[in-house]
Chain A
Amino acid sequence: MSPAAAANRVNDFAIKIASVNGTGSASANGLLMKSIFRSGVPVVGKNYFPSNIQGMPTWYEIRVTRDGHRARATNVDIVVALNAETYARDVQEVTSGGYFVYDSTWPRSALLQRDDITVLGVPLARLCNENFQGVRTRILMKNICYAGVLAALCNIDLDIMRGLLAETYAKKPQLVDSNMKAIQLGYDYAQQNFQCPLPLHIEKMDATRGHIVIDGNTAAGLGCVYAGATVGAWYPITPSTSLMDAYKAFSEKLRVDPKSGRKNFIMVQAEDELASIGMVIGASWNGARAFTATSGPGISLMQEFLGLAYYTEIPAVVFDVQRVGPSTGMPTRTQQCDLRSTAYASHGDTRHVCLYPADPEECFHMARTAFDLAERLQTPVFVLSDLDIGMNDWMCKEFQWDDSYKPDRGKVLNAEQLEKIEKFWRYYDHDGDGIPQRTLPGVHPKGAFFTRGSGHNQYGGYTEDSKDYQIVLDRLRKKSVTASKLVPPALVEQDPRNTLSIVSLGSCDGAVREALARLRAQGVHVNYMRVRGFPFGEEVEAFMNAHQINFVVEQNRDAQLRALLTLETGVQKSVMRSILHYNGMPISANYIVDGVMAVVQDKQRPAAQLVR
């Protein structure tokens, strides 16, 4: 590597650690990532893990990105191989000119036949066997020792590491010492045997100030606490479980009355997803902010109840942390494959409000938006996160909370209001926005009404009359139009001279932004719209109609976003081109650049038409 090329890679490279799950490498990986972050250098962490508890291969990817990109790395520069079973594929992962670090306690020269990379053998097992007692300890220490090796190779500050360990093990200081001892062993070995640091290394920056590193599920769980949710009902399912865990942990910290020890929240682990959505509906019907978290299979199970909530107009907040389908699919891999199954969930004419957060920061804030919209519109609201957002560590701006925020509880009539009115009509549209008034049990005798999934008229009575039925159904449609004006609008970055655009949503955002920058560097200027809510606002169609080609970038096979855009807007199919990524890994910028360039460079089409 030439000095110029080497300098070019400072704070801009990717490390991938291949290990076996259940052996403690997760803490070392988190430690490494956080140490780089604390050095002021932007970083991205992606965990590729099996649907298994112990003994299967797992990978963790740390992208060091001085430019603050947020997508996964396209190339891996340093592989740390701790799992002999996957050496063969791991060695292939290293980009040319990169490094392969492995445990040389058992040399594997025959396997490592690549002359375009540098192989660095570190006898991790031997070092730990010589310095630690007990089988379990030796394994755990081997899986922290490599953090020391990387610290030496990549110039990561050991003091920062020590500081982080002290925070993690504040209550078990002896663990700080043993972990640091293992780190030091690896660090010293690398210093003594290799040219440290490598050209790919860390130099301190000041680009992470005001930021945090957090996963989307933790952020969403915290968002629910701040939104004032008091009832959480769920059935465990990967990758959503940690959202409820976070809500519970934060609530136990922030929502327990210090005097009485009573909990100002309730969590119910339901018997299945049918029950969890039933509980959310029952609690919301009774005036609590209630929510559930699930993934695709759970959404399938909730269909009947979702239709009931839509038709009887009951708020409900559902976090769908999407994973690879169909069926059980690949539960620990990411996809955006529930766009259709949520938008039109259940039988009959239903349309639901959906929010599409792009990162943990939006998960935090959209939790509040979801409850406000659910209560304002009296309808289920989905927050469609995915495994990539939900379970991976993202660098985000530190969340801010506005203490002047007041929850929007919607048109709920209180006792005074009920006292004044002659008669309460549950499904009557008084002001033309399609949203009726509601009442809660126990408030006033005049508020009583009968909630039923069977045909009802606008006064709340049972009906089988065609006209009365249709009045309610048409009003629900009107309510959907109101919803399209209340959901967060699409974010648009538009230069009127550009004829190309990318339309995308959710976790594609990081990769799209990086792709836009790269395309720009090649002279291809592309506008961008990120859809954030469904039903789509008017801005969506207007933006797309202003372009000759809209690349619709999404992470599923069947172009579900494009399908929704086709159904819900007047945009011609001919101006949409799909860029689809659905192998379970998060989409990368390269994939999008390639997809755009394939069209731009298409010989059949005069390039001048597309590129300014």
Chain B
Amino acid sequence: MTFMVKPKVRHPDLPKNELGLTRRDYEAANSTLCAGCGHDSITAAIIEACWANSLAPQNVVKLSGIGCSSKTTAYFVGGAHGFNSVHGRMPSVATGANAANRNLHYIGVSGDGDSLSIGLGQFCHAIRRNLNMVYMLENNGVYGLTKGQFSASADLGSILKKGDVNNQPPIDPVQLAITLGAGFVARSFSGDKAQLVPLIRAAMHHKGFALIDVLSPCVTFNDHEGSTRSYTYSREHYEEAVHADFVAPAREISVAYKEGESLPVTLHDGSQVVLHKVDNSYDPTDRSAALARLVERQKQHEYLTGLLYIDPEQQEFHELSGTPDTALNQLPYELLNPGAAALSKVLSRYR
């Protein structure tokens, strides 16, 4: 069945994607976050990526936990089902949803509080299962909705608005994800749309768990002097190691790459991520080297960004589970029920 999207009042010259949809068709409810919140820029980037990738809105599933970042699933792709679950538990809901229907696009949105404290376990285990989803971690170093407590990603020495100094080492989701074997690990900054949009587009095409940790300043509780997550600090301590361009399947690669500086990586569906090595000595396909560099930059209080690790060859959750290509929720009951005759046979050993 084909679905006609109702025409909205819009400028006739708005660009359309392959489905004939404009960016407007990927918008949703208005944001209720603070003006200037980094999360709103990320929402805009997700809208851009979904539009550019020509995703049918009803085939997108948006999942989140609890917190400022988790609220944003209501602000993009209004034509998709959304699930704002409980604090820190989005990965399990995503696992179940994905188990039931492997053929939809799963976008999880979480924050540093949601993923790195209460939900650290579920975050890790979703990675271990290599759940096929895009996991956006909107990372601002504080709890916004409860008014500005440190989160587990707060940097050593970072100062709260009221003066408290953080003396516990941060949990870096990027290092953690690489350690746990994730096949697509990126970091970006909410203020760098040119970097973020291609990353999200590529992540959507990656088969398996794709983490994008996005530094996303909290304008209300963590944008002051002494904060290591303010707009100013982020911009000053932000180093792009690898810039990723996304090339959709069956499109000509038109950019010329200098030998040794660019690396095209083909994803399972034929699309490509073309990695531009901003830092020539960085190899995003070498797991241990990537980790070493991350640790080194962290010591120097720098945020290494870009597509930091990629391995497109991993088997994802359903491949590991041996399920059919058809979604489990589409299998007819007749196929699932062995019937009365089989029951009698099964029970023979209990007679």
* Residue ranges of A at the interface with B (Cβ–Cβ < 8 Å): 167, 211-214, 222, 225-226, 228, 230-231, 233, 250, 253-255, 257, 260-268, 270-272, 274-288, 290, 304-305, 308, 398-403, 405-407, 415, 419, 439-445, 447-454, 462
Contact = CB atoms under 8 A, between A and B. Distances in A.
Interface string B176-212: 0000000000000000000000000000000000000
Nearest to B59: A442
Contacts of A305: 86, 89
A462 B78 CA distance: 14
A461 B251 CA distance: 40
Nearest to B331: A264
Nearest to B1: A415
Nearest to B61: A441
Interface in B56-93: 57-59, 61, 63, 73-74, 78-86, 89, 91-93
A228 B59 CA distance: 24
A512 B99 CA distance: 43
Nearest to A225: B338
Contact of A262 (B57, B104, B323, B339): B323
Contacts of B104: 441-442
B322 A261 contact: yes
B255 interface: no
B86 A308 contact: yes
Interface string B134-168: 00000000000000000000000000000000000
A271 B96 contact: no
Contacts of B262: none
A403 B339 contact: yes
A277 B93 CA distance: 8
A533 B271 CA distance: 54
A156 B141 CA distance: 73
A302 B171 CA distance: 26
A304 B86 contact: yes
A255 B336 contact: yes
Determine which residue in B74, B101, B335, B343 has the highest number of CB atoms from chain A within 10 A of its CB, and name it.
Answer: B343
Contact of A448 (B78, B321, B333): B78
A267 B94 CA distance: 15
B94 A399 contact: no
A288 B104 CA distance: 14
Contacts of B91: 275, 278
A226 B343 contact: yes
28 contacts: A231-B328, A233-B95, A233-B96, A250-B346, A263-B324, A264-B328, A266-B323, A271-B124, A278-B86, A278-B93, A282-B63, A282-B100, A285-B93, A285-B100, A286-B97, A287-B100, A288-B100, A290-B100, A308-B86, A400-B343, A401-B343, A415-B1, A441-B58, A441-B81, A442-B81, A448-B58, A452-B83, A453-B86
Interface in B317-351: 318, 321-325, 328-329, 331, 333, 335-340, 342-344, 346-347, 349-351
Contact of A398 (B100, B103, B325, B347): B347
A265 B328 contact: yes
B125 to A, nearest CB: 4
B122 A275 contact: yes
Contacts of B95: 233, 268, 275, 278-279, 282
Contacts of B36: none
B58 A401 contact: no
A167 B348 CA distance: 11
A442 B58 contact: yes
A278 B339 contact: no
B54 to A, nearest CB: 15
Interface string B6-50: 000000000000000000000000000000000000000000000
Contacts of A403: 339-340
B201 to A, nearest CB: 21
Interface string B93-120: 1111111110110000000000000000
B321 A283 contact: no
B329 A266 contact: no
A286 to B, nearest CB: 4
B256 interface: no
Given A261-B322, A282-B100, A254 B83 contact: no
Contacts of A271: 121-122, 124-125
Given A226-B338, A441-B101, A284 B346 contact: no
B350 A283 contact: no
B321 A266 contact: yes
A166 to B, nearest CB: 12
Contact of B85 (A267, A278, A444): A278
Given A230-B329, A282-B100, A288-B99, 8 more contacts: A230-B100, A268-B96, A272-B121, A274-B122, A290-B96, A441-B104, A448-B78, A453-B86
B6 to A, nearest CB: 9
A141 to B, nearest CB: 24
A284 B99 CA distance: 10
Contacts of B349: 167
In the A-B complex, the 4 residue pairs with the closest CB atoms:
A282-B96, A278-B92, A288-B100, A283-B96
Determine which residue in B78, B122, B125, B329 has the highest number of CB atoms from chain A within 10 A of its CB, and name it.
Answer: B329
Contact of A450 (B3, B74, B343, B344): B74
B97 A445 contact: no
Contacts of A231: 96, 99-100, 328
Given A231-B100, A264-B328, A445-B57, A450 B82 contact: yes
Contacts of A400: 340, 343
B58 A285 contact: no
Given A264-B335, A265-B328, A278-B95, A444 B121 contact: no
Determine which residue in B63, B89, B325 has the highest number of CB atoms from chain A within 10 A of its CB, and name it.
Answer: B89
A357 B151 CA distance: 46
B129 interface: yes
B5 interface: yes
B322 to A, nearest CB: 5
B86 A282 contact: no
Given A213-B350, A228-B336, A274-B92, A441 B80 contact: yes
A276 to B, nearest CB: 8
A322 to B, nearest CB: 23
A402 B339 CA distance: 8
Nearest to B28: A450
A263 B321 contact: yes
Nearest to A287: B329
Nearest to A260: B324
B324 A262 contact: yes
A230 B84 contact: no
B297 to A, nearest CB: 30
A407 B337 CA distance: 10
A222 B346 contact: yes
A212 B351 contact: yes
Nearest to B74: A450
Contacts of B344: 398
Contact of A275 (B61, B92, B338, B346): B92
Determine which residue in B57, B81, B86, B350 has the highest number of CB atoms from chain A within 10 A of its CB, and name it.
Answer: B350
B83 A285 contact: yes
A290 B95 CA distance: 12
A228 B96 contact: no
Nearest to B103: A442
Given A445-B58, A448-B81, A406 B324 contact: no
Contact of B3 (A275, A399, A444, A451): A444
Contacts of B322: 261-263
Contacts of A399: 343, 347
A288 B336 contact: no
Given A278-B89, A288-B99, A445 B3 contact: yes
Contacts of B323: 262-266
Given A228-B337, A288-B100, A445-B57, A453 B5 contact: no
Contacts of B125: 270-271, 275
B261 to A, nearest CB: 41
Contacts of B340: 400-403
Nearest to A280: B96
